[in-house]
């Protein structure tokens, strides 16, 4: 963790603004308000909760120019990709506004002798620890179902995202004022890790949702477990992206490269291990190298086709450079890229092959524009390689023979797997992983079930 919350432009490495941590007294007051707000919010009807979520969606939509510029400066996201992120945010809030009541409906239990149902009852204050790579989307997929279920939220955002966190707070506050929702149902807290641990020890806090690194997940899970609190963890991955065959290598490379460069490669579900059949491998690698060479440094505030953008911070770029160097030391071949340029966080897109299977680099998550490509000779070998990792978040399998692709996909061990598409998107589609990628699910019907008491309710005849 940094020694302060700050806006530090990754294009220049300039610290633009700094923010103080929340004091213990301020944090105590925020928790008091959240707990008091819960006693009111839990009694509010689903229709009225839906009104709040719809208003939040409208405000996110209306404030696009301001919101996209905030994250372009905070973490380097180009304006057009910021627009895409806001599309997802708006759809998430509208989805839970429309479907939240039905997803939270009582579930009858067949039983002789009385009326028995499972009720989904809100449980209290939930802490969210959110990452910087999708500053609005990650928060939306946590708070939309959590608020719709009747809980209240304390948000600890990433240290490099203080302005986007404040913008979210302002939107929720404005929506509450317009709809009459109680103040205190959502509070942004610039907390330290120790303060988060203190929150999880408080009996009024009933759960925590974290999206972040495996190390952060282990720490939060240990604290949550010690205090018997529900935890939802999304901890990244090294997703396998299997290309079994293609009659158009250039098109296949376009699709793979577009997925790998999205968000400058800083996505948990990016195609971090690209597994390609040997008969098309050489042509595929050549195509990927050409694309890496063709990309040029761009400005997040003026996005153009064929540009790459800075990573979230100079430190992140230096870490990625060191990872690439280590992979080469372990035997990998670096075909192109892998260099820092200037004083900011620009990192030239890289293509790696021959990373030794089972090495430290093989198990590592390269969180940036690095395409790792592996050669296999059979479907079984592709499946074995895909499953030979510590993570299990998402993945994809491509083939002109859909049945062949489906057979391979059926044997890949992940929380999400796709056939002939890099990744399906939509608020109705649950998101989450297995193994070291964490546990629990966000979005869809499963997202509504994470922070509720599934209470057995029985009325005798």
By the 10 Å C-beta count (0-12 exposed, 13-18 middle, 19+ buried), 427 is classed as: buried
Q: Integer distance in angstroms from the first to the last C-alpha of the chain?
A: 57
The reply to whether 161 belongs to the active site is no
CA distances in angstroms from 418 to 74, 377, 396, 406, 415, listed in the order given = 32, 21, 4, 9, 10
* Active-site entry in 159, 234, 372, 450: 234
CA 322 vs CA 202, 271, 316, 386: distances in Å: 40, 20, 10, 24
Report CA dihedral (72, 10, 265, 336) to the nearest 10 degrees: 130
| 460 strand-pairing partners | 114
Cα separation, 318 vs 339, whole angstroms: 9
**Residue 256 and residue 279: Cα distance in Å, rounded?**
17
CA-nearest of 345, 399, 331, 336 to 371 is 336
- 9: Cβ contacts below 8 Å, ≥ 6 apart: 16, 73, 76, 344
Active-site residue flag, 234:
yes
What number of other Cβ atoms are within 10 A of residue 387's Cβ? 15
Determine the Cα–Cα distance for residues 89 and 144; give it in Å rounded to an integer. 9
300: nearest Cα among 120, 124, 70: 70
Kindly name the residue from 268, 365, 442, 450 that is annotated as catalytic. Answer: 268
Active site (catalytic) residues: 234, 268
């Amino acid at each position: 963790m940094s020694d302060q919350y700050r806006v530090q432009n990754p294009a220049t490495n300039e610290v633009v603004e700094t923010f103080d941590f929340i004091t213990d007294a301020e944090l105590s007051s925020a928790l008091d308000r959240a707990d008091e707000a819960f006693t009111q919010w839990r009694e509010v009807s689903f229709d009225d909760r839906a009104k709040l979520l719809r208003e939040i969606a409208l405000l996110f939509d209306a404030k696009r120019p301001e919101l996209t510029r905030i994250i372009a400066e905070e973490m380097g996201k180009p304006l057009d990709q910021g627009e895409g992120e806001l599309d997802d945010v708006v759809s998430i809030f509208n989805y839970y506004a429309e479907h939240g009541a039905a997803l939270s409906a009582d579930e009858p239990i067949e039983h002789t002798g009385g009326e028995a149902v499972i009720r989904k009852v809100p449980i209290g204050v939930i802490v969210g620890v959110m990452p910087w790579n999708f500053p609005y989307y990650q928060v939306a997929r946590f708070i939309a179902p959590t608020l719709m279920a009747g809980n209240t939220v304390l948000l600890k955002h990433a240290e490099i995202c203080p302005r986007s966190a404040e913008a979210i707070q302002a939107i929720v506050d404005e929506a509450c004022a317009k709809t009459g929702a109680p103040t205190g149902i959502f509070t942004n807290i610039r907390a330290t890790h120790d303060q988060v641990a203190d929150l999880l020890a408080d009996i009024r806090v009933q759960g925590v949702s974290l999206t972040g690194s495996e190390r952060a997940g282990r720490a939060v899970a240990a604290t949550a477990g010690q205090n018997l609190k529900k935890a939802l963890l999304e901890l990244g991955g090294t997703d396998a992206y299997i290309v079994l065959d293609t009659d158009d290598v250039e098109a296949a490379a376009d699709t793979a490269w577009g997925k790998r460069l999205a968000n400058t490669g800083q996505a948990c579900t990016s195609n971090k291990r690209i597994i390609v059949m040997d008969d098309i491998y050489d042509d595929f690698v050549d195509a990927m190298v050409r694309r890496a060479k063709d990309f040029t440094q761009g400005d997040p505030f003026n996005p153009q086709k064929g540009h790459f953008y800075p990573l979230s911070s100079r430190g992140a770029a230096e870490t990625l450079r060191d990872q690439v160097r280590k992979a080469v030391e372990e035997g990998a071949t670096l075909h192109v890229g892998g260099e820092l340029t200037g004083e900011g966080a620009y990192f030239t897109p890289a293509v790696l092959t021959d990373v030794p299977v089972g090495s430290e680099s093989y198990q590592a998550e390269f969180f940036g524009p690095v395409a790792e490509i592996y050669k296999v000779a059979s479907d079984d070998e592709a499946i074995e390689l895909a499953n030979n990792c510590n993570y299990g978040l998402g993945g994809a399998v491509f083939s002109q023979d859909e049945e062949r692709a489906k057979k391979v996909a059926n044997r890949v061990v992940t929380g999400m797997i796709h056939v002939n598409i890099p990744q399906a998107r939509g608020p109705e589609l649950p998101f989450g992983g297995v193994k070291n990628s964490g546990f629990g699910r966000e979005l869809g019907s499963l997202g509504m079930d994470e922070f509720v008491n599934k209470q057995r309710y029985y009325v005798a005849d």
